[in-house]
Amino acid sequence: MSVLVNKNSKVIVQGFTGSEGTFHAGQMIEYGTNVVGGVTPGKGGQTHLDKPVFNTVADAVKETGADVTIIFVPPAFAADAILEAADAGIKVIVTITEGIPVNDMVKVKNFIDTLNDCTLIGPNCPGVMTAGEAKVGIMPGFIFKKGTIGIVSKSGTLTYEAVDQITKAGLGQSTAIGIGGDPIIGTTTKEAVQLLMADPDTEGIVMIGEIGGNLEAEAARWIKEHGTKPVVGFIAGVTAPKGRTMGHAGAIVGGDDDTAEAKKKILRECGIHVVDSPAEIGKKMAEVMGVTA
Amino acid sequence: MNIHEYQGKSILNSFGVAVQRGLVADTPEEAVEAAKKINETTGSDWFVIKAQIHAGGRGKGGGVKIAKNLDQVKEISSQILGMQLITPQTSAEGKLVSKVLIAEDVYYPGDSEPSEIYMSILLDRATGKVTIMYSTEGGMDIEAVAEKTPELIYKEVINPGLGIQGYQCRKIAFNLGLSGKAFKEMVKFVESLYNAYVGCDASLFEINPVLKTSDDRIIAVDAKVTLDDNALFRHKDYAAMRDLSEEDPTEVEAGEAGLNYVQLDGNVGCMVNGAGLAMATMDIIKLSGGEPANFLDVGGTADAKRVEKAFRIILKDEKVKAILVNIFGGIVRCDRVAQGIVDAYKNIGDINVPIIVRLQGTNAKEGKALIDESGLKVHSAIVLQDAADRVKEVMA
């Protein structure tokens, strides 16, 4: 099982022949991901990294049966790339690109939400990784170990931190979902948590959030009502000043309810095991799962 | 990106939004010339002189004044230009005023009482849709209105696929209690304001107040406009509106070097790859007994040049008593980062504060060895908790 991507996923890479696309597609293939081809308009018919290149996503789907895509195209063209993938019937669209205009994403999200069987992950995210099966993202593969902990996070390097600590704590990962740090993202914290709660291979969940927006609170309230597995939570940005964007476009404290402290309070009230220090994520999860490293 | 009121109004006007007419001036003489020109259209001898800085509450600090003749235009402009304007939204030192907007007087007497309306357009992150917020309680602090009389604040959510519809504009005008000519003008105002928001890729419009004049015109009297940085690539003319003097010079310098830096008040500097880990590192500093002096994301390519630049920027801040470098090498290799740190350290020469370097991920051990064998006064760590403990030691 696992969620979103696994060893049977047929993955294409949009922006395949660019420098980012080339590097990360290579890493994905090396990890054992089933990359079936890529898309670069105008380069259809060529071969890149021993895989076929297509002009359009529709061509790629027709020829390879691809059901997952990862997008590395530049911000100005990324919204178009997402819509093209959705139109071609791709089921899981992972968008790595950072810096897509917000108004583009407002339109894209509104459209994707009308589709029944299309999941958008990101943008501005490290991707999705099912340990030992498929890496559809830019996460370093070697820190993962197959196991039963699912991870949901807005941040890239903080996800790596959690993954690494989970591995060192004697546990391993089912699927890690980097949902992205933009104000508008396809899959919310709650939706990612729902996927992991429903996954028989996942026994515990790490939920990493940050200042800005209400995604973590929304997820926490759902967990309180419907959660069946232990959740360890961390919220970054206790020390972030109000009204300043902290790197991620969405990481900005707007009011009293989207500070790190306010979110942590809600998480605790909803029964989530909240750690104050990011250095204690693995330790806390091991404790909750009854494992000693 | 924040822009000045006069720039915001010019953008609004270009989308057909009715705005209070005005001209910007750098000197008292230019202010008088501007006033003369405005008088040619309005026939009025009254003008409003408004300081142009990136902060609200300008009136409270004496940055907005009425002039009743040209002599007063000159006198008041001379007072405002060059002043350090302190408002509830600026720091205690205030902000230097180098431009004033000379605007027409719009509160003239007439058949009806002028009334002030609040209107803003912003992204509602919860719904993922652009929302128009408005209230009859204009001209006041909207946060106070939201607290005391939340029922007086209305919201209209716009479907991004359809755009704003006529019935929505009418609903807004009805809720604001308008009729006759003012109603019709408001319908047009709202429609063009929304189209401007989308057309210029804004992330916030706050028009406080929108004025219904005594002769039932609807005009934007103030304009707080924030543009989406990520969309500036398709608006080169707006990108040119950036006023660097409004920004922290160190943050500007960092930005030019590709570093994402935010100046804070604390005593422990930090340098991290990734925004989430950078915030988490600030939090670790606080838990270890320090206060973060900055947010700094070096990005994915933490090479020697960038690391050196980052060190130099952090070291500019005299309050910094220690620096924590926290790199999780996913794609980037820790030994290369370590070499960058060693080179940067040697290049800068006289670093007098303790540096704690935590390298984890690809080639972490090789990275740590490079640091340990460099002979530099740098503490190294691999596990995050060790780094936190080291910060605690040096802060003790």
The answer to whether B259 touches B267, Cβ cutoff 8 Å, is no
Chain B residues within 8 A of A236 when measuring between CB atoms: 276-277, 279-280, 283
The answer to whether B226 touches B134, Cβ cutoff 8 Å, is no
Q: B207: closest CA among B242, B172, B239, B232?
A: B172
CA distance A35 to chain B (A): 19
For A95, the enclosing helix (H) or strand (E) is: strand A92-95
β-bridge pairing B64-67 and B47-51: antiparallel
Average pLDDT over residues A255-271: 92
Domains with residue ranges and CATH for chain B: 1-19+109-245 (3.30.470.20), 21-105 (3.30.1490.20), 248-395 (3.40.50.261)
Which among A110, A183, A212 has the least Cβ separation from residue B160?
A110
Give the 3-state secondary structure of residue A282. Answer: helix
Angle among Cα B276, A109, B279 to the nearest 5 degrees reads 10
Diameter of chain A measured on Cα atoms: 56
- Spell B146-167 as b/e; 16+ CB within 10 A means b: eeeeeeebbebebebeeebeee
Give the 3-state secondary structure of residue A277. Answer: coil
pLDDT of residue A250: 78
User: Can you say whether the dihedral through the CA atoms of A180, A186, A190, A193 is positive or negative?
Assistant: negative
The answer to whether A15 touches A70, Cβ cutoff 8 Å, is no
Euclidean distance between the first and the last CA atom of chain A, given in angstroms as a whole number:
26
Inter-chain touch A157–B233, beta carbons under 8 Å: no
The answer to whether B55 touches B87, Cβ cutoff 8 Å, is yes
Task: Give rounded-to-5 percent helix, strand, coil for chain A.
Answer: 35, 20, 45
Average pLDDT over residues A203-231: 95
The answer to whether A122 touches A82, Cβ cutoff 8 Å, is no
Provide the β-strand partners of residue B103: B22, B48
Q: A95: closest CA among A79, A112, A111?
A: A79
Asked if A26 reaches chain B (Cβ–Cβ under 8 Å), the answer is no
Which of the 8 DSSP states describes residue B362?
A: T
The answer to whether A127 touches A28, Cβ cutoff 8 Å, is no
Q: CA-CA distance, A126 to A148, in Å (whole number)?
A: 20
Q: CA-CA distance, B7 to B52, in Å (whole number)?
A: 10
pLDDT of residue B340: 85
With 70 as the cut, is the pLDDT of residue A293 above it? no
In Å, how far from its chain's centre is CA A196?
Answer: 12
pLDDT in tens, B21-61: 999 999 999 999 999 999 999 999 999 999 999 998 899 99
Enumerate the known binding-site residues of B for substrate. 273, 330-332
pLDDT of residue B333: 81
pLDDT in tens, B225-240: 999 999 999 999 999 9
Three-state helix/strand/coil letters over A2-19: CCCCCCCCCEEEECCCCH
Q: CA-CA distance, B230 to B246, in Å (whole number)?
A: 19
Inter-chain touch A106–B230, beta carbons under 8 Å: no
The answer to whether B342 touches B359, Cβ cutoff 8 Å, is no
What average pLDDT is seen over chain B?
93
Assign B72 a pLDDT band (cuts: 50, 70, 90). Answer: very high
Asked if A184 reaches chain B (Cβ–Cβ under 8 Å), the answer is yes
Average pLDDT over residues A178-187: 94
Instruction: Kindly provide the ipTM of the predicted complex, given to two decimals.
Output: 0.90
Is A48 one of the annotated active-site residues of the chain?
Answer: no
Q: CA-CA distance, A162 to B276, in Å (whole number)?
A: 12
Inter-chain touch B126–A240, beta carbons under 8 Å: no
- Nearest residue of A to residue B266 by CA position? A239
Q: CA-CA distance, A3 to A6, in Å (whole number)?
A: 7
Q: CA-CA distance, B139 to B178, in Å (whole number)?
A: 17
Structure tokens at A47: 């071969």
- Nearest residue of B to residue A234 by CA position? B280
Domains with residue ranges and CATH for chain A: 11-121 (3.40.50.720), 139-289 (3.40.50.261)
Interface test with B, best of A106, A157, A184 (most B CBs within 10 A): A157
pLDDT-above-70 percentage for chain B: 99
Inter-chain touch B385–A280, beta carbons under 8 Å: yes
Average pLDDT over residues B117-129: 93
More confident residue, B387 or A174: A174
The backbone torsions φ and ψ at residue A268, rounded to the nearest 5 degrees and listed phi first, read: -60, -45
More confident residue, A165 or B330: A165
pLDDT in tens, B320-339: 999 999 998 877 788 888 88
Chain A residues within 8 A of B264 when measuring between CB atoms: 239, 241
Looking at chain A, list the stretches that DSSP marks H as alpha helix, in order from N- to C-terminal side. 19-31, 57-64, 75-87, 102-112, 156-168, 189-197, 215-226, 260-269, 281-289
Q: CA-CA distance, B177 to B172, in Å (whole number)?
A: 9
pLDDT in tens, B185-207: 999 999 999 999 999 999 999 99
pLDDT of residue A1: 62
With 90 as the cut, is the pLDDT of residue B341 above it? no
pLDDT of residue B290: 92
DSSP string, B235-256: -HHHHTT--GGGS-HHHHHHHH
Asked if B282 reaches chain A (Cβ–Cβ under 8 Å), the answer is yes
